[in-house]
Chains A and B, each alone.
Chain A
Amino acid sequence: MATEAAAAIPGEIRAGKREMTQARAVRRFKWSVLSVFIALMVGVLGPVLFLQLYFSFHDFSIYLGSWWDAEFAGLEIFEEVVTDPRLGIAIVRSVLFAAGSTLGCFVIGFGLALLMYRPFRGQALFYIVFILPMLTVPIVIAYTGEMLLYQKGPLNDVLSWISGQDVNVIWLANARMALTTVMLLEIWNWVPFSFIIMIAGLASLPKEPQEAAQILGASKWRIFLEIQLPLLRPVIILAIILRFLEAMAEFPKAWSLFQGGPGSATETIPIYLYITTWQYFEVSKGAAMSYVVMMIMIAIVLAAIYFLRREKRALDEMYGAADEDRAG
C-alpha cells in the first residue's frame, strides 16, 4: 500500500519535498549556530553597548558622583565629539595608516601567494616561515621592532650595507616617520593574513579557463591579468576589507612604541580613544567617540558588503553565461 502510495506521488513533488526538508535542515543548522552568537550579543555585548549608549547621552564625570546620577545631556556629547578637531586628525591618521598597511600587506601577501600556490619541494617549511609573524604577539613585534629600528640599530646597518651609503633613518623619534614605522611593523605582522587568503583564492580558481588560455598561447602575464585577477576580485576585496578594518583598530604596537608621540604623530583613533577614556577619564566622551567610530566602521562594512555582493553577482553572471555556452 505504502509503496503504491509512494509510487502515486509524482517525481517532481518528491524532489520538491526533499528540497524543502533540506532547506529546513539548513535553516535549523543556521539558527543553532546563530542563536549562540545572538545570545552572546544580547547577554554580553548588549549590556555593554547599552551602558555605553547611556554614558554617551549622560554627562558623567567620575569625580562628581555615581554614573547612575549623571545628568542627561541629549546630543551635547556627540556634538562635542564630532566637532573635536583632534578626533578628526586621528581619523585621518587612522585611515592613512590602515590604507598604507593594508596595501603593503596585500601586495606582499599576494606576491608570496603567487610564488607559493603551485606545489614545490619544501613548500611546508616556507608556509611556516611566512605565517610565523601572524602568530607573534603584537607587543613582542613592537619591542623586537624597537630593537631593530634604533638609529644605530641592525636595520639601518643592513640598509647601509646594501646601499653602500651611511643610512641613518630615525625610525622611532621622527614625527614624520613614526606612523610609517608602525605601518611597516603592521605589514610585517599581517602579511601572512593576506597571504593565506590569497593562496586559498588562487588554489580555488577553476583550472579550465587557465588551461584553455594556455593552449591558445596566452602568456603567463596575460593569464594572470585577464583570467586570474578578475576571478580573484571578490577574494581580493575581502582580503583588503578585513585587513583594513583590523588595521583601523591597531593599538598595541603604536601604544607600546609611541604612546601617541612623538608629538602627536601616532595618535590614531584607538590611541585617542584610550587617552580620552583612561587618561582623561572622560568616560562619556569616550563612549560617544566609540559610537561615532563604530558608525564609521559600520559604514565601511556596509560598503564592503555592497562591493562583495556586486562582485559575486558579476561572477555568478559570468559562470552562468559560461554554463549556458557549454550547454548550447
Chain B
Amino acid sequence: MSKFSRRDVVKGGLTVASLSALPVGIPGLAWGATENEKIIAAAKGAGGGDLKGMIWSNYYVAMTPSMERFKQATGIGVGSIQDISIFVIPQRAMAEALSRSPEFDFFHVDSNMIPSLASAGLLEPLDGYMKKADFSIDAVGTYGNFMRYKGNTYGVPTDGNVHVQFTRKDLMENPDEQKRFEDKHGKKLAYPVTWEDDQQLMEFFHRPDQELWGSANLRNRANGVTWWYMYFYSAGGFPFDDDMNPTLDTPAGRYAVETYLNIKKVSHPEAPGWGTPQMIPRITTGKAFACQYWDGIIALNENPKKSKTAGKWHYSLAPGSKFSGKLIHRAISSPLGAILVNKYSKNKEKAAYMAMWWGSLKNSEEIVADRVNTFHDPWHTGHMTSDAVKTAYTPGGIAAIETSLKVASPPIYLTGYLEFQDQLAKNLSEAYVGQKKADRVLKDTEEAWAKIVKRIGKRRLKKELGSYKAVFPKVDVPT
C-alpha cells in the first residue's frame, strides 16, 4: 500500500512543476530571496569590472550610492561616464551605432529612442538577463511597455517623466475668485477636466499686470510639440493609418493645433523662446496660474527652500478631451530616462545587471526620493506607496502621478522618432510665431512625414506599429 494518496501525488507534481518554472540561473539562492539578492546572485556569474556609461551627471549623482553598493556586492561598478545632457545623448548614441563602437557599455537616454537605436543595431535585448535575475519591470499601468519594442525589452527605467496638471490651489480656493468666476461664467470654479475647461480657467486668471500669466506650458520649438501630442491623442487621434500614411490632417489633428495655438492668449510673449530653464522659475515663483508639466517639478515646487509656491499647488491628471465623443485623458511621457545596453559592448551582461539594480524597487525608491537631485521621478508601483517618495512629492502629487502614469502616452514610438517630431515641432512653432498659417501645419507635416516613411521604409515601419500602439494605455479615464 502506498503511503501517498492520489491527491498528494497531484500536489507533489504541481510543486515540482512550479519549482521547475523558477529561474535556473541563480545558483545557491535561498528561498524567498529579495529582488536585490537575485540581481546580485545573477550578476556574480558575470564577473566584476568597471563599466563606462553615457549619462548626464544630473541623473547620475542620485544613482551613485546604489552603484557603490552594487560594486561592493558584485565587483560591477561604473568606472567612468561621459557626462552630457540627456537631450544630446540620442545623437551621440546614434554616432556610436554608426561606428558600431564598444566604447560605452550603457546609455541613459530617452526611451522613446528605443525603436531608432534598436533599428540602428545598437541595443542589446535584456529579456535573457532579466530572466536570469528573475527581474521584471514593475511599473504603474502599462508604463513598462515603454521599454519594449518588437517583443523585446530594451531598457530599464530610472525616471518616470509624465505630465501632470498643475493648478494654483490658493487662487482656486479663494472665495472672492470663486464668486467672480461664477458671476462671469455661471458655473462653479472647479479644477479642469477638459482642455476647454483649462483654457477658460487660464483666461480667467491671466493677469499680466499682476505678474500672473494664465499658462506656463512650453511653446518653444524644442518642447512645445510635447503638449500637442496630448491634445491629439486625447481627441482620439493616432498619427498613422495601418499603411503608414500620416493621418495628422484630420479633425483630431486640427483640434489639437487649435488647442495648441489658443494658449498664446494666456502665455507670456517670450514663451516661444523659453524652455524649462526659463519656465520652471516662473512656476516656482508664482508667476503662472496653471500648466501641464513634468512631474519632477512637484518635488521642486514643494521644497520651501527652493520654491515660493510650496503648498500652493493642486496636482491632478492632465485634462482630457471629449472631442471624440467620449472623455479621453492622455498624459505625455517624454523624455523617459532609461538605461539601454550597448550590443557591441564586451560588458553588456554586466551593464544589464547594473540597469536592473538601479531599477529594483529598493534602489529606485532611493533614487527617486532624493530631495537634492530631483531628476528622477516615480514610475514603480512601489513608489506610489513609499513614504520617502510621498515626502518628496506630497501625497497629492503622488496621486496625480499615479493616475497620469496610467494614461501615459509616448510621442512617436517608431524608428525615426526625432525626424518625425522635429518636422511637426518646426511647423507648429512656425504657426505659433506667425511664420505659417495654422491650416498649413498639418499639411506640411504630413508631406514631410511621408518622405520620412519612404526613406526609412514603409514595410519596416508597418511592422513597428504594433509596438507603438502597445505603449498606449488601455484606459481612457484612470481611477
Contact = CB atoms under 8 A, between A and B. Distances in A.
A283 B273 contact: no
B270 A280 contact: no
Contacts of A263: 221, 272, 426, 429-436
B138 interface: no
Interface residues of B, number: 36
B109 to A, nearest CB: 14
A172 B433 CA distance: 12
B22 interface: no
B446 to A, nearest CB: 16
B143 interface: no
A218 B272 CA distance: 56
Contact of B456 (A63, A258, A260): A63
A264 B120 contact: no
A260 B221 CA distance: 8
Interface stretch (B49-57, B91-99, B149-157): B91-99
Given A173-B273, A258-B273, A265 B456 contact: no
B439 interface: no
Indicate the member of B270, B430, B452 with the most A CB atoms within 10 Å. B270
A175 B433 contact: yes
Contacts of A279: 91, 418-419, 422
Nearest to B115: A63
A261 B272 contact: yes
Nearest to B221: A261
B175 interface: no
Interface string A65-85: 001000000000000000000
A64 interface: yes
A62 B98 contact: yes
Given A174-B433, A259-B222, A151 B419 contact: no
B215 to A, nearest CB: 14
A265 B436 CA distance: 11
Nearest to B461: A63
Contacts of B416: 63, 281
Contact of B274 (A63, A173, A283): A173
Nearest to B267: A173
B455 interface: yes
A67 B98 contact: yes
A264 B426 CA distance: 7
A252 interface: no
Interface string A235-267: 000000000000000000000011111111100
A172 B270 contact: yes
Given A261-B273, A262-B272, A280 B221 contact: no
B231 to A, nearest CB: 19
Contacts of A64: 457
A281 B273 contact: no
A258 B272 CA distance: 10
Nearest to B452: A280
Contacts of B270: 150-151, 170, 172-173
Interface string A267-279: 0000000010011
B98 A261 contact: no
B457 A261 contact: no
A61 B273 contact: no
A117 B122 CA distance: 59
A54 to B, nearest CB: 13
A282 to B, nearest CB: 7
A264 B432 CA distance: 11
B455 A261 contact: no
Given A174-B433, A263-B432, A265-B435, A281 B221 contact: no
Given A63-B416, A279-B91, A279-B419, A265 B433 contact: yes
A275 B432 contact: no
Interface in A203-262: 257-262
Contact of A62 (B94, B273, B422, B460): B94
A55 B220 CA distance: 33
B221 A262 contact: yes
B418 A283 contact: no
A278 B435 contact: no
A64 B119 CA distance: 8
* B interface SS class: helix
Nearest to B425: A261
A264 B120 CA distance: 29
Contacts of B119: 62-63
Nearest to A168: B269
A63 B120 contact: yes
Contact of A61 (B429, B430, B456): B456
Contact of A261 (B94, B429, B434): B429
Contact of A262 (B97, B98, B419, B429): B429
Contacts of A63: 116, 119-120, 415-416, 456-457, 460
Contacts of A280: 418-419, 422, 452
Contacts of A260: 221, 426
B269 A262 contact: no
Contacts of B273: 170, 172-173, 178, 257-258, 261-262
Given A264-B429, A265-B435, A170 B269 contact: yes
B411 to A, nearest CB: 14
Nearest to B278: A150
A13 B457 CA distance: 76
A281 B272 contact: no
Interface string B249-261: 0000000000000
B96 to A, nearest CB: 11
B46 interface: no
A283 B94 CA distance: 11
A172 B457 CA distance: 38
A195 B181 CA distance: 61
Contacts of A265: 433, 435
A63 B123 CA distance: 12
Contacts of B279: none
Contacts of B431: 263
Interface in B421-479: 422, 426, 429-436, 452, 455-457, 460
A262 B416 CA distance: 23
B271 interface: yes
Contacts of A258: 221, 273
Contacts of B418: 279-281
A103 to B, nearest CB: 25
Nearest to A65: B121
A129 B270 CA distance: 32
Contact of A281 (B94, B274, B426, B436): B94
Given A257-B273, A262-B273, A278-B94, 15 more contacts: A62-B98, A62-B120, A63-B457, A173-B273, A173-B433, A174-B272, A174-B433, A175-B430, A258-B221, A259-B222, A261-B433, A262-B220, A264-B426, A278-B95, A282-B419
6 contacts: A62-B94, A64-B457, A175-B434, A175-B435, A257-B273, A263-B221
Top 8 nearest A-B pairs (CB, nearest first) are A261-B221, A173-B273, A263-B430, A175-B433, A172-B273, A263-B435, A262-B272, A63-B119
